[in-house]
Structure 1
Protein backbone atom coordinates (compact mmCIF):
# COMPACT_ATOMS: atom_id res chain seq x y z
CA UNK A 1 0.00 0.00 0.00
CA UNK A 2 2.84 2.43 0.72
CA UNK A 3 5.56 3.87 -1.46
CA UNK A 4 8.42 6.35 -1.03
CA UNK A 5 5.92 9.03 -2.04
CA UNK A 6 4.28 8.66 1.36
CA UNK A 7 5.06 11.13 4.14
CA UNK A 8 8.57 11.03 5.64
CA UNK A 9 6.91 11.53 9.03
CA UNK A 10 5.62 8.40 10.74
CA UNK A 11 3.05 10.42 12.66
CA UNK A 12 1.52 11.65 9.39
CA UNK A 13 0.99 8.21 7.87
CA UNK A 14 -1.99 5.94 8.36
CA UNK A 15 -1.75 2.30 9.34
CA UNK A 16 -2.44 1.31 5.73
CA UNK A 17 0.46 3.38 4.42
CA UNK A 18 3.12 2.57 7.03
CA UNK A 19 4.58 -0.38 5.14
CA UNK A 20 7.99 -1.71 6.26
CA UNK A 21 10.17 1.41 6.38
CA UNK A 22 13.54 2.19 7.80
CA UNK A 23 12.50 3.91 11.02
CA UNK A 24 14.72 6.66 12.44
CA UNK A 25 13.93 7.58 16.04
CA UNK A 26 15.39 10.80 17.50
CA UNK A 27 16.42 10.33 21.13
CA UNK A 28 17.33 13.38 23.17
CA UNK A 29 16.79 14.78 26.63
CA UNK A 30 15.11 17.53 28.58
CA UNK A 31 17.91 18.97 30.67
CA UNK A 32 19.76 22.14 31.51
CA UNK A 33 22.15 23.48 28.89
CA UNK A 34 23.65 26.38 30.75
CA UNK A 35 21.98 29.77 31.20
CA UNK A 36 21.90 30.42 27.46
CA UNK A 37 20.58 27.30 25.68
CA UNK A 38 17.10 25.70 25.69
CA UNK A 39 16.30 22.55 27.63
CA UNK A 40 15.49 20.63 24.45
CA UNK A 41 18.88 21.22 22.78
CA UNK A 42 19.74 17.51 22.51
CA UNK A 43 16.30 16.59 21.21
CA UNK A 44 16.37 19.36 18.61
CA UNK A 45 19.76 18.23 17.29
CA UNK A 46 18.75 14.56 17.18
CA UNK A 47 15.50 15.39 15.39
CA UNK A 48 17.25 17.58 12.83
CA UNK A 49 19.84 14.90 12.09
CA UNK A 50 17.15 12.22 11.75
CA UNK A 51 15.08 14.41 9.42
CA UNK A 52 18.03 15.26 7.18
CA UNK A 53 19.13 11.64 7.04
CA UNK A 54 15.59 10.64 6.11
CA UNK A 55 15.47 13.13 3.24
CA UNK A 56 18.80 11.90 1.89
CA UNK A 57 17.83 8.24 2.16
CA UNK A 58 14.51 8.87 0.44
CA UNK A 59 16.35 10.69 -2.34
CA UNK A 60 18.13 7.38 -2.97
CA UNK A 61 14.88 5.42 -3.04
CA UNK A 62 14.84 4.17 0.55
CA UNK A 63 11.48 4.41 2.30
CA UNK A 64 12.78 6.05 5.48
CA UNK A 65 10.53 7.72 8.05
CA UNK A 66 11.12 9.73 11.23
CA UNK A 67 9.25 8.80 14.40
CA UNK A 68 8.19 11.40 16.97
CA UNK A 69 11.19 12.14 19.17
CA UNK A 70 11.78 10.57 22.55
CA UNK A 71 12.48 13.74 24.52
CA UNK A 72 13.39 12.30 27.93
CA UNK A 73 16.57 10.44 28.72
CA UNK A 74 19.08 9.56 31.40
CA UNK A 75 20.19 12.95 32.71
CA UNK A 76 20.78 12.39 36.41
CA UNK A 77 24.07 14.30 36.31
CA UNK A 78 22.08 17.46 35.52
CA UNK A 79 19.38 16.97 38.16
CA UNK A 80 20.83 19.78 40.28
CA UNK A 81 19.41 22.30 37.80
CA UNK A 82 15.71 23.24 37.48
CA UNK A 83 14.02 22.08 34.29
CA UNK A 84 15.91 18.81 34.04
CA UNK A 85 13.68 15.75 33.72
CA UNK A 86 15.58 12.48 33.92
CA UNK A 87 13.98 9.05 33.76
CA UNK A 88 17.25 7.26 34.58
CA UNK A 89 19.15 4.46 32.92
CA UNK A 90 16.92 1.55 33.93
CA UNK A 91 13.68 3.22 32.86
CA UNK A 92 15.21 4.43 29.60
CA UNK A 93 16.56 0.96 28.82
CA UNK A 94 13.11 -0.55 29.34
CA UNK A 95 11.46 2.20 27.27
CA UNK A 96 13.84 1.65 24.35
CA UNK A 97 13.52 -2.11 24.59
CA UNK A 98 9.73 -2.10 24.52
CA UNK A 99 9.70 0.62 21.86
CA UNK A 100 11.94 -1.54 19.68
CA UNK A 101 9.95 -4.70 20.21
CA UNK A 102 6.79 -2.93 19.14
CA UNK A 103 8.24 -0.99 16.21
CA UNK A 104 10.07 -3.98 14.78
CA UNK A 105 6.76 -5.76 14.32
CA UNK A 106 6.33 -3.63 11.17
CA UNK A 107 9.51 -1.60 10.59
CA UNK A 108 12.07 -3.13 8.27
CA UNK A 109 14.86 -1.61 10.32
CA UNK A 110 15.10 0.56 13.43
CA UNK A 111 17.82 3.14 14.13
CA UNK A 112 17.87 5.36 17.22
CA UNK A 113 19.52 8.73 16.51
CA UNK A 114 21.00 9.81 19.84
CA UNK A 115 21.67 13.42 20.82
CA UNK A 116 22.62 12.95 24.50
CA UNK A 117 25.71 11.19 25.78
CA UNK A 118 24.02 10.12 29.00
CA UNK A 119 21.74 7.81 27.01
CA UNK A 120 24.54 5.64 25.63
CA UNK A 121 24.57 2.95 28.32
CA UNK A 122 20.80 2.47 28.09
CA UNK A 123 20.98 2.39 24.29
CA UNK A 124 23.72 -0.24 24.34
CA UNK A 125 21.78 -2.44 26.77
CA UNK A 126 18.46 -2.15 24.92
CA UNK A 127 19.79 -2.52 21.39
CA UNK A 128 21.96 -5.51 22.28
CA UNK A 129 18.86 -7.20 23.69
CA UNK A 130 16.79 -6.34 20.63
CA UNK A 131 19.46 -7.78 18.35
CA UNK A 132 19.76 -10.90 20.50
CA UNK A 133 16.03 -11.33 19.94
CA UNK A 134 16.55 -11.23 16.18
CA UNK A 135 15.42 -7.65 15.55
CA UNK A 136 17.21 -5.36 13.11
CA UNK A 137 17.98 -2.50 15.48
CA UNK A 138 20.94 -0.15 15.91
CA UNK A 139 21.80 3.33 17.14
CA UNK A 140 24.13 6.14 16.17
CA UNK A 141 25.51 9.19 17.91
CA UNK A 142 25.05 12.75 16.64
CA UNK A 143 28.74 13.45 16.18
CA UNK A 144 31.03 14.16 13.24
CA UNK A 145 33.53 11.62 12.00
CA UNK A 146 36.87 12.58 13.62
CA UNK A 147 38.71 11.09 10.63
CA UNK A 148 37.27 13.68 8.24
CA UNK A 149 39.77 16.46 7.75
CA UNK A 150 37.01 19.08 7.56
CA UNK A 151 35.69 18.16 11.00
CA UNK A 152 39.04 18.54 12.78
CA UNK A 153 38.63 22.32 12.92
CA UNK A 154 35.08 22.17 14.29
CA UNK A 155 34.40 22.96 17.97
CA UNK A 156 34.18 20.09 20.44
CA UNK A 157 33.33 20.34 24.10
CA UNK A 158 31.34 18.35 26.59
CA UNK A 159 28.16 20.29 27.30
CA UNK A 160 26.61 23.66 26.39
CA UNK A 161 29.95 24.90 25.09
CA UNK A 162 30.91 26.32 21.75
CA UNK A 163 29.71 23.31 19.73
CA UNK A 164 26.13 23.15 21.03
CA UNK A 165 25.87 26.94 21.20
CA UNK A 166 26.84 27.17 17.53
CA UNK A 167 24.29 24.50 16.64
CA UNK A 168 21.47 26.39 18.37
CA UNK A 169 22.65 29.68 16.84
CA UNK A 170 22.14 28.01 13.46
CA UNK A 171 19.04 25.93 14.14
CA UNK A 172 16.94 28.11 16.45
CA UNK A 173 18.61 31.47 17.04
CA UNK A 174 15.50 32.92 18.69
CA UNK A 175 16.10 30.60 21.65
CA UNK A 176 19.75 31.52 22.14
CA UNK A 177 20.22 33.90 25.11
CA UNK A 178 23.36 35.52 23.74
CA UNK A 179 23.61 37.97 26.64
CA UNK A 180 23.98 35.04 29.07
CA UNK A 181 26.83 33.26 27.29
CA UNK A 182 29.71 32.63 29.70
CA UNK A 183 32.45 30.04 30.15
CA UNK A 184 31.85 27.15 32.51
CA UNK A 185 34.26 24.47 33.65
CA UNK A 186 37.01 24.49 31.03
CA UNK A 187 39.23 21.73 32.41
CA UNK A 188 39.47 18.48 30.45
CA UNK A 189 36.47 16.23 30.99
CA UNK A 190 38.79 13.47 32.20
CA UNK A 191 39.84 15.73 35.06
CA UNK A 192 36.24 16.48 36.04
CA UNK A 193 34.69 13.08 35.50
CA UNK A 194 35.16 11.50 38.91
CA UNK A 195 33.58 14.37 40.81
CA UNK A 196 30.96 14.93 38.12
CA UNK A 197 29.78 11.33 38.41
CA UNK A 198 29.74 11.44 42.19
CA UNK A 199 28.20 14.87 42.73
CA UNK A 200 26.71 15.96 39.40
CA UNK A 201 27.48 18.73 36.94
CA UNK A 202 26.63 21.54 39.34
CA UNK A 203 29.48 20.52 41.63
CA UNK A 204 32.05 21.20 38.91
CA UNK A 205 30.25 23.96 36.99
CA UNK A 206 27.80 26.27 38.82
CA UNK A 207 26.36 27.57 35.52
CA UNK A 208 26.01 24.10 34.00
CA UNK A 209 28.47 24.66 31.15
CA UNK A 210 31.32 22.24 30.44
CA UNK A 211 33.43 24.22 28.00
CA UNK A 212 33.52 27.76 26.69
CA UNK A 213 30.66 28.89 24.41
CA UNK A 214 32.34 32.22 23.67
CA UNK A 215 32.94 32.63 19.95
CA UNK A 216 30.08 30.38 18.84
CA UNK A 217 28.47 31.34 15.54
CA UNK A 218 25.63 30.24 13.22
CA UNK A 219 28.14 29.52 10.45
CA UNK A 220 30.15 27.25 12.68
CA UNK A 221 26.92 25.56 13.72
CA UNK A 222 25.95 24.92 10.11
CA UNK A 223 29.33 23.37 9.32
CA UNK A 224 29.14 21.20 12.44
CA UNK A 225 25.60 20.07 11.62
CA UNK A 226 26.63 19.22 8.06
CA UNK A 227 29.50 17.09 9.39
CA UNK A 228 27.21 15.31 11.87
CA UNK A 229 24.60 14.58 9.21
CA UNK A 230 27.20 13.36 6.71
CA UNK A 231 28.56 10.90 9.27
CA UNK A 232 25.06 9.73 10.26
CA UNK A 233 23.95 9.14 6.68
CA UNK A 234 27.11 7.24 5.85
CA UNK A 235 26.63 4.99 8.88
CA UNK A 236 23.00 4.26 8.07
CA UNK A 237 23.73 3.51 4.43
CA UNK A 238 26.85 1.42 4.83
CA UNK A 239 27.93 1.09 8.43
CA UNK A 240 28.23 -2.08 10.44
CA UNK A 241 26.81 -2.72 13.89
CA UNK A 242 29.38 -2.73 16.68
CA UNK A 243 29.20 -4.90 19.80
CA UNK A 244 27.35 -2.16 21.69
CA UNK A 245 24.72 -1.87 18.96
CA UNK A 246 26.03 1.36 17.46
CA UNK A 247 26.52 1.92 13.75
CA UNK A 248 30.14 2.51 12.81
CA UNK A 249 31.96 2.89 9.49
Structure 2
Protein backbone atom coordinates (compact mmCIF):
# COMPACT_ATOMS: atom_id res chain seq x y z
CA UNK A 1 0.00 0.00 0.00
CA UNK A 2 1.55 3.31 -1.07
CA UNK A 3 -0.88 5.78 0.54
CA UNK A 4 -0.50 6.45 4.24
CA UNK A 5 -1.71 9.09 6.70
CA UNK A 6 1.23 11.07 8.00
CA UNK A 7 -0.39 11.55 11.42
CA UNK A 8 -0.52 7.79 11.92
CA UNK A 9 3.21 7.22 11.37
CA UNK A 10 5.96 7.10 13.95
CA UNK A 11 8.83 9.54 13.66
CA UNK A 12 11.02 6.84 12.16
CA UNK A 13 8.41 5.92 9.59
CA UNK A 14 7.87 9.55 8.64
CA UNK A 15 11.60 10.14 8.21
CA UNK A 16 11.95 6.97 6.16
CA UNK A 17 9.04 7.95 3.92
CA UNK A 18 10.58 11.35 3.33
CA UNK A 19 14.03 9.92 2.64
CA UNK A 20 12.48 7.46 0.21
CA UNK A 21 11.08 10.25 -1.95
CA UNK A 22 7.54 10.20 -0.58
CA UNK A 23 5.19 13.02 -1.54
CA UNK A 24 3.38 14.90 1.23
CA UNK A 25 -0.15 16.01 0.31
CA UNK A 26 -1.93 18.76 2.25
CA UNK A 27 -5.66 19.37 1.61
CA UNK A 28 -7.08 22.75 2.62
CA UNK A 29 -10.70 23.95 2.65
CA UNK A 30 -12.78 26.43 4.62
CA UNK A 31 -15.64 26.85 7.07
CA UNK A 32 -18.16 29.21 5.48
CA UNK A 33 -21.79 29.63 4.54
CA UNK A 34 -23.10 27.70 1.56
CA UNK A 35 -26.64 29.09 1.51
CA UNK A 36 -29.37 27.26 3.45
CA UNK A 37 -29.05 23.85 1.81
CA UNK A 38 -25.35 22.98 2.18
CA UNK A 39 -23.19 22.74 5.33
CA UNK A 40 -20.46 25.17 6.31
CA UNK A 41 -17.87 22.44 5.75
CA UNK A 42 -18.74 21.93 2.07
CA UNK A 43 -15.35 23.06 0.76
CA UNK A 44 -13.22 20.75 2.89
CA UNK A 45 -15.71 17.89 2.50
CA UNK A 46 -15.44 18.12 -1.29
CA UNK A 47 -11.67 18.44 -1.47
CA UNK A 48 -11.44 15.41 0.82
CA UNK A 49 -13.85 13.48 -1.39
CA UNK A 50 -11.83 14.17 -4.54
CA UNK A 51 -8.40 13.69 -2.99
CA UNK A 52 -9.18 10.49 -1.09
CA UNK A 53 -10.72 8.86 -4.14
CA UNK A 54 -7.70 9.87 -6.21
CA UNK A 55 -5.23 8.55 -3.64
CA UNK A 56 -7.09 5.23 -3.57
CA UNK A 57 -6.42 4.92 -7.29
CA UNK A 58 -2.72 5.63 -6.70
CA UNK A 59 -2.27 2.86 -4.14
CA UNK A 60 -0.78 0.52 -6.72
CA UNK A 61 1.87 3.06 -7.75
CA UNK A 62 5.44 2.65 -6.53
CA UNK A 63 5.45 6.19 -5.10
CA UNK A 64 4.55 6.66 -1.45
CA UNK A 65 1.91 9.32 -0.84
CA UNK A 66 1.68 10.81 2.64
CA UNK A 67 -1.66 12.45 3.32
CA UNK A 68 -1.70 15.18 5.95
CA UNK A 69 -4.78 15.99 8.04
CA UNK A 70 -7.02 18.47 6.22
CA UNK A 71 -6.57 22.13 7.09
CA UNK A 72 -10.25 22.99 7.47
CA UNK A 73 -9.92 26.76 7.94
CA UNK A 74 -9.19 29.21 5.15
CA UNK A 75 -9.65 32.79 3.99
CA UNK A 76 -13.41 33.48 3.98
CA UNK A 77 -14.11 37.06 5.17
CA UNK A 78 -16.55 37.61 2.30
CA UNK A 79 -18.90 35.09 3.93
CA UNK A 80 -18.88 36.56 7.43
CA UNK A 81 -22.13 38.41 6.66
CA UNK A 82 -23.88 35.03 7.08
CA UNK A 83 -21.58 32.56 8.83
CA UNK A 84 -17.91 31.66 8.56
CA UNK A 85 -14.76 30.96 10.52
CA UNK A 86 -12.05 32.81 8.65
CA UNK A 87 -8.34 33.46 8.82
CA UNK A 88 -6.59 36.58 7.59
CA UNK A 89 -4.47 36.21 4.41
CA UNK A 90 -1.27 36.70 6.42
CA UNK A 91 -2.37 33.98 8.83
CA UNK A 92 -3.10 31.48 6.05
CA UNK A 93 0.21 32.35 4.41
CA UNK A 94 2.08 31.90 7.69
CA UNK A 95 0.39 28.58 8.48
CA UNK A 96 1.11 27.19 5.03
CA UNK A 97 4.72 28.42 5.18
CA UNK A 98 5.19 26.77 8.57
CA UNK A 99 3.65 23.46 7.43
CA UNK A 100 5.79 23.33 4.30
CA UNK A 101 8.91 24.26 6.27
CA UNK A 102 8.13 21.58 8.85
CA UNK A 103 7.78 18.97 6.13
CA UNK A 104 11.09 20.10 4.69
CA UNK A 105 12.78 19.83 8.10
CA UNK A 106 11.40 16.29 8.41
CA UNK A 107 13.12 15.47 5.14
CA UNK A 108 10.37 15.82 2.54
CA UNK A 109 11.54 17.26 -0.75
CA UNK A 110 8.24 16.88 -2.60
CA UNK A 111 4.91 18.28 -1.40
CA UNK A 112 1.64 19.45 -2.87
CA UNK A 113 -1.26 21.53 -1.56
CA UNK A 114 -4.74 20.56 -2.79
CA UNK A 115 -7.34 23.29 -2.32
CA UNK A 116 -11.12 23.21 -2.00
CA UNK A 117 -11.98 26.92 -1.55
CA UNK A 118 -11.77 29.79 -4.03
CA UNK A 119 -10.64 32.28 -1.40
CA UNK A 120 -7.49 30.23 -0.82
CA UNK A 121 -6.43 29.90 -4.44
CA UNK A 122 -3.96 32.78 -4.69
CA UNK A 123 -2.60 32.02 -1.23
CA UNK A 124 -1.72 28.39 -1.90
CA UNK A 125 0.07 29.29 -5.12
CA UNK A 126 2.07 32.03 -3.42
CA UNK A 127 2.92 29.60 -0.61
CA UNK A 128 4.58 27.06 -2.90
CA UNK A 129 6.39 29.76 -4.88
CA UNK A 130 7.80 31.26 -1.68
CA UNK A 131 8.72 27.85 -0.27
CA UNK A 132 10.65 26.87 -3.40
CA UNK A 133 12.74 30.02 -3.10
CA UNK A 134 13.78 29.14 0.43
CA UNK A 135 13.95 25.34 0.61
CA UNK A 136 15.33 22.45 -1.43
CA UNK A 137 12.92 20.30 -3.40
CA UNK A 138 9.69 20.88 -5.29
CA UNK A 139 6.25 22.08 -4.21
CA UNK A 140 2.99 22.39 -6.12
CA UNK A 141 -0.55 23.65 -5.59
CA UNK A 142 -3.90 23.12 -7.28
CA UNK A 143 -7.61 23.67 -6.72
CA UNK A 144 -9.62 20.50 -7.26
CA UNK A 145 -12.37 21.97 -9.47
CA UNK A 146 -9.86 23.04 -12.14
CA UNK A 147 -8.73 19.46 -12.74
CA UNK A 148 -10.35 17.26 -15.35
CA UNK A 149 -8.99 14.57 -17.60
CA UNK A 150 -9.28 14.09 -21.37
CA UNK A 151 -10.18 10.44 -20.89
CA UNK A 152 -13.54 11.56 -19.47
CA UNK A 153 -14.29 14.09 -22.20
CA UNK A 154 -17.34 12.11 -23.28
CA UNK A 155 -18.91 12.99 -19.92
CA UNK A 156 -18.27 16.71 -20.19
CA UNK A 157 -21.49 17.83 -21.90
CA UNK A 158 -23.12 19.01 -18.70
CA UNK A 159 -20.10 21.13 -17.85
CA UNK A 160 -19.76 22.62 -21.31
CA UNK A 161 -23.35 23.78 -21.07
CA UNK A 162 -22.75 25.29 -17.63
CA UNK A 163 -19.11 26.37 -17.83
CA UNK A 164 -19.94 29.73 -16.26
CA UNK A 165 -21.33 27.90 -13.22
CA UNK A 166 -18.15 25.97 -12.42
CA UNK A 167 -17.31 26.10 -9.61
CA UNK A 168 -19.73 28.85 -8.52
CA UNK A 169 -20.73 28.92 -4.89
CA UNK A 170 -23.51 26.78 -3.36
CA UNK A 171 -25.00 26.46 -6.84
CA UNK A 172 -25.36 23.72 -9.44
CA UNK A 173 -21.74 22.48 -9.29
CA UNK A 174 -21.15 22.24 -5.54
CA UNK A 175 -24.68 21.03 -4.83
CA UNK A 176 -24.39 18.25 -7.41
CA UNK A 177 -21.05 17.17 -5.97
CA UNK A 178 -22.40 17.15 -2.42
CA UNK A 179 -25.43 15.11 -3.55
CA UNK A 180 -23.00 12.52 -4.87
CA UNK A 181 -20.46 12.60 -2.03
CA UNK A 182 -22.59 13.51 1.03
CA UNK A 183 -26.29 13.30 0.12
CA UNK A 184 -27.32 13.23 3.77
CA UNK A 185 -25.96 16.76 4.22
CA UNK A 186 -27.94 18.37 1.37
CA UNK A 187 -31.30 19.93 2.24
CA UNK A 188 -34.21 19.34 -0.12
CA UNK A 189 -35.42 22.94 0.16
CA UNK A 190 -33.08 25.18 -1.86
CA UNK A 191 -34.48 28.73 -2.03
CA UNK A 192 -32.86 30.84 -4.73
CA UNK A 193 -33.53 34.31 -6.11
CA UNK A 194 -31.31 35.39 -9.03
CA UNK A 195 -29.46 38.64 -8.45
CA UNK A 196 -30.04 41.56 -10.77
CA UNK A 197 -27.49 42.64 -11.81
CA UNK A 198 -25.28 39.56 -11.42
CA UNK A 199 -22.38 39.94 -8.99
CA UNK A 200 -19.27 41.59 -10.41
CA UNK A 201 -16.97 38.97 -8.88
CA UNK A 202 -18.70 36.32 -11.00
CA UNK A 203 -19.33 38.31 -14.18
CA UNK A 204 -16.28 40.38 -15.03
CA UNK A 205 -17.02 43.31 -17.36
CA UNK A 206 -13.84 42.53 -19.30
CA UNK A 207 -11.83 39.32 -19.88
CA UNK A 208 -8.98 38.74 -17.38
CA UNK A 209 -10.16 41.67 -15.25
CA UNK A 210 -10.76 40.80 -11.61
CA UNK A 211 -13.42 43.04 -10.07
CA UNK A 212 -14.56 43.11 -6.47
CA UNK A 213 -17.14 45.46 -4.96
CA UNK A 214 -18.01 45.90 -1.31
CA UNK A 215 -21.20 44.15 -0.23
CA UNK A 216 -21.66 42.00 -3.35
CA UNK A 217 -21.82 38.68 -1.54
CA UNK A 218 -24.51 39.79 0.88
CA UNK A 219 -26.41 41.52 -1.95
CA UNK A 220 -26.69 38.27 -3.92
CA UNK A 221 -27.55 36.21 -0.86
CA UNK A 222 -24.27 34.29 -0.72
CA UNK A 223 -25.06 32.07 -3.70
CA UNK A 224 -23.98 32.40 -7.32
CA UNK A 225 -26.48 30.30 -9.27
CA UNK A 226 -29.57 28.12 -8.96
CA UNK A 227 -28.91 24.83 -7.12
CA UNK A 228 -32.32 23.38 -7.92
CA UNK A 229 -31.21 21.69 -11.14
CA UNK A 230 -28.43 19.86 -9.32
CA UNK A 231 -28.70 16.09 -9.05
CA UNK A 232 -26.67 13.17 -7.74
CA UNK A 233 -26.15 11.57 -11.16
CA UNK A 234 -24.56 14.75 -12.48
CA UNK A 235 -22.57 15.05 -9.27
CA UNK A 236 -21.20 11.55 -9.77
CA UNK A 237 -19.94 12.53 -13.23
CA UNK A 238 -18.45 15.80 -11.95
CA UNK A 239 -16.75 13.94 -9.12
CA UNK A 240 -15.39 11.24 -11.38
CA UNK A 241 -13.89 13.80 -13.74
CA UNK A 242 -12.18 15.64 -10.85
CA UNK A 243 -10.81 12.40 -9.44
CA UNK A 244 -9.40 11.44 -12.83
CA UNK A 245 -7.93 14.92 -13.22
CA UNK A 246 -6.44 14.77 -9.74
CA UNK A 247 -4.80 11.43 -10.46
CA UNK A 248 -3.30 12.81 -13.65
CA UNK A 249 -1.99 15.91 -11.87
CA UNK A 250 -0.46 13.98 -8.98
CA UNK A 251 1.22 11.48 -11.30
CA UNK A 252 2.56 14.31 -13.48
CA UNK A 253 4.04 16.03 -10.42
CA UNK A 254 5.57 12.74 -9.30
CA UNK A 255 7.10 12.03 -12.72
CA UNK A 256 8.62 15.47 -13.25
CA UNK A 257 10.13 15.83 -9.76
CA UNK A 258 11.92 12.48 -9.41
Normalization by structure 2: what TM-score?
A: 0.82
Q: 1:151 deviation in Å?
A: 2.6
- 1:136 aligned residue: 138
Change (3 A) 1:137 1:239: closer
Q: Secondary structure at the match of 1:68?
A: coil
> Would you say 1:199 and 2:215 are equivalent positions?
yes
> Would you say 1:71 and 2:72 are equivalent positions?
yes
- 2:5 aligned residue: 9
- Alignment partners' CA distance in 1, 2:112 and 2:156: 24
Q: Secondary structure at the match of 1:237?
A: helix
Aligned length: 233
- 1:86 aligned residue: 86
Q: 1:234 deviation in Å?
A: 0.7
> Would you say 1:151 and 2:156 are equivalent positions?
yes
- 1:243 aligned residue: none
1:12-45 CA-partner distances (Å, limit 9, x unpaired): 2222222222111111000001110010111011
- Alignment partners' CA distance in 2, 1:202 and 1:68: 32
Q: 1:200 deviation in Å?
A: 4.5
Q: 1:215 deviation in Å?
A: 1.5
Q: Secondary structure at the match of 2:113?
A: strand
Change (3 A) 1:184 1:32: farther
Q: 1:180 deviation in Å?
A: 3.2
1:214-233 CA-partner distances (Å, limit 9, x unpaired): 11111111110111111111
- Alignment partners' CA distance in 2, 1:183 and 1:224: 25
Asked if the contact 2:7–2:69 (Cα under 8 Å) also holds between the matched residues in 1, the reply is: yes
Q: Secondary structure at the match of 1:104?
A: helix
Q: Secondary structure at the match of 1:37?
A: coil
- Alignment partners' CA distance in 2, 1:162 and 1:176: 12
Change (3 A) 1:135 1:8: same
Change (3 A) 1:151 1:108: farther
| More deviation, 111-120/17-26 | 17-26
Asked if the contact 2:190–2:228 (Cα under 8 Å) also holds between the matched residues in 1, the reply is: no
Q: 1:116 deviation in Å?
A: 0.6
> Would you say 1:110 and 2:124 are equivalent positions?
no
Q: 1:183 deviation in Å?
A: 4.7
Q: 2:203 aligns with which of 179, 190, 196?
A: 190
